[in-house]
Amino acid sequence: MKLSLIIPIYNEEKNINRLHHSITQIMVNNHYDYELILVNDGSADRSIHMIEALSKKDEHVKYVSFSRNFGKESAMLAGLRSAAGDAAIILDADLQHPPELIPQFVDAYYEGYDQVVARRDRDGENIIRKIPSQLFYKLINRTVDVELVDGEGDFRLISRVVIDAILSLDEYNRFSKGIFDWVGYSKKTIPFKNVKREEGQSSFSFFSLLDYAIDGILSYNNKPLRVCFYFGAITLTICLLYILTTLIKIIYQGIDEPGYFTIISSILFLGGVQLFSLGVIGEYIGRIYYESKKRPHFIVEKTNVEKLKND
Ligand code: UDP
Ligand code: MG
């Protein structure tokens, strides 16, 4: 069987050679037939020069280089489209996804699993990332149809059937954690210890993770719209009841002047509910807008992958 290792790369000049070295060692020791697909996601540093140099030295190295930064989701998609293997393994360039786990992935593949997922613990992780992440998983698993597990990320082996299933989904807003679960197939989980990034910096800030969380919630269903609907229905009922009781009071007791509090609170409350609902609807419309443009997920500047050249 042939393995396609897919690695998205954004400003990783300090990690590329180390990564190539440790992967090559594992591949050679285990006598695997493999290709290493490096996807340069518009890095601003010397990453692409290093990748090209590697591809000249090592025939296993394939690369795809984007014309600008399109994001990790697009980089993974380009990798999957380029993959010629019977199974693909996606890993980060910063060695936070230890390549030492690859033999365990392959063993599980031979046992018959179509998805082998590494699950990391959150030991030694920064509190400002840990707590919001945990809250996110609690919230998301209540709202979306797919199941997302804390600690399971893109680091996984997927077999050819899964690759093809994923490639058949052509949506523009990609949330791959959800896509992996949505396509289904048999799955095995392998736990591993969290490792710190050694060189360079994480590209994801608190706010980009917040954006990612909102994407996760909105990408999978229209439950937030349903929530707005119920919220609207409840508010309407309360308002109608209030109007009715006030009317009855006026009929029996006449009009009394004071009403500042009730007016101001109902204006503010209804205004808030309406703005919130508009925001939710707007998010969906924004998504429809992007989908309807049918733009490609990425633009390839150079590559040595035949399949992508003809695209
Ligand atoms: N990455 C990418 N495009 C981006 C941001 C990140 O291809 O716009 C790659 C990055 O080079 C790395 C992986 O995605 O291989 C994970 O990024 P990072 O380590 O910054 O994320 P974290 O580990 O903090 O989640
Ligand atoms: Mg990282």
| Probe target for ligand 1 pocket from 6, 10, 45, with the most ligand atoms within 8 Å of CB | 10
Same-domain status, 111 and 169: yes
Highest mean pLDDT (candidates 58-72, 114-128, 217-231, 258-272): 58-72
Res 311: pLDDT: 53
- List the CATH number of the domain containing 103: 3.90.550.10
Domain annotation covers residue 209: no
Domain annotation covers residue 213: no
Same-domain status, 196 and 237: no
Same-domain status, 125 and 169: yes
Write out pLDDT tens, residues 7-37.
Answer: 999 998 888 989 999 999 999 999 999 999 9
Same-domain status, 177 and 232: no
Q: Which ligand is nearest to the CA of 206?
A: 1
Domain annotation covers residue 145: yes
Domain annotation covers residue 208: no
Predicted TM-score (pTM) above 0.80: no
Same-domain status, 176 and 261: no
Ligand 1 atom showing the smallest separation from residue 39 Cα: 7
Checking if the pLDDT of 148 tops 80, the result is no
Same-domain status, 38 and 103: yes
> Which residues constitute the domain of residue 281?
223-293
Q: How far is the CA of 92 from the centre of ligand 2 (A)?
A: 6
Res 246: pLDDT: 84
Q: How far is the CA of 197 from the centre of ligand 1 (A)?
A: 11
Per-residue pLDDT, averaged over 158-164, amounts to: 94
Q: Whose CA is nearest to atom 23 of ligand 1?
A: 202
Q: Residue 232: exposed, middle, or buried by beta-carbon count in 10 A (0-12, 13-18, 19+)?
A: middle
Same-domain status, 114 and 230: no
The neighbourhood of ligand 2, an ion, using CB within 5 A, equals: 92, 94, 96, 197
Q: Is the ipTM of this complex over 0.85?
A: yes
Same-domain status, 179 and 238: no
Q: How far is the CA of 190 from the centre of ligand 1 (A)?
A: 21
Same-domain status, 242 and 168: no
Domain annotation covers residue 310: no
- SS3 string of the chain? CEEEEEEEECCCCCCHHHHHHHHHHHHHHCCCEEEEEEEECCCCCCHHHHHHHHHHHCCCEEEEEECCCCCHHHHHHHHHHHCCCCEEEECCCCCCCCHHHHHHHHHHHHHCCCEEEEEECCCCCCHHHHHHHHHHHHHHHHHCCCCCCCCEEEEEEEEHHHHHHHHCCCCCCCCHHHHHHHHCCCEEEEEECCCCCCCCCCCCCHHHHHHHHHHHHHHHCCHHHHHHHHHHHHHHHHHHHHHHHHHHHHHHHCCCCCCHHHHHHHHHHHHHHHHHHHHHHHHHHHHHHHHHHCCCCCCEEEECCHHHHCC
Domain annotation covers residue 211: no
Same-domain status, 41 and 157: yes
Domain annotation covers residue 80: yes
Q: Whose CA is nearest to atom 19 of ligand 1?
A: 202
Q: What percent of the chain has pLDDT over 70?
A: 97
Same-domain status, 74 and 188: yes
| Probe target for ligand 1 pocket from 72, 90, 133, 212, with the most ligand atoms within 8 Å of CB | 72
Q: How far is the CA of 98 from the centre of ligand 1 (A)?
A: 15
pLDDT band, very low/low/confident/very high, at 309 (cuts 50, 70, 90): low
Checking if the pLDDT of 82 tops 90, the result is yes
Res 112: pLDDT: 92
Same-domain status, 265 and 139: no
Q: How far is the CA of 202 from the centre of ligand 1 (A)?
A: 6
Ligand 1 atom showing the smallest separation from residue 7 Cα: 15
Res 228: pLDDT: 80
Domain annotation covers residue 67: yes
How many domains would you assign to the chain?
2
Q: How far is the CA of 91 from the centre of ligand 2 (A)?
A: 10
Handedness of CA 200, 126, 91, 145 (dihedral sign): negative
pLDDT band, very low/low/confident/very high, at 124 (cuts 50, 70, 90): low
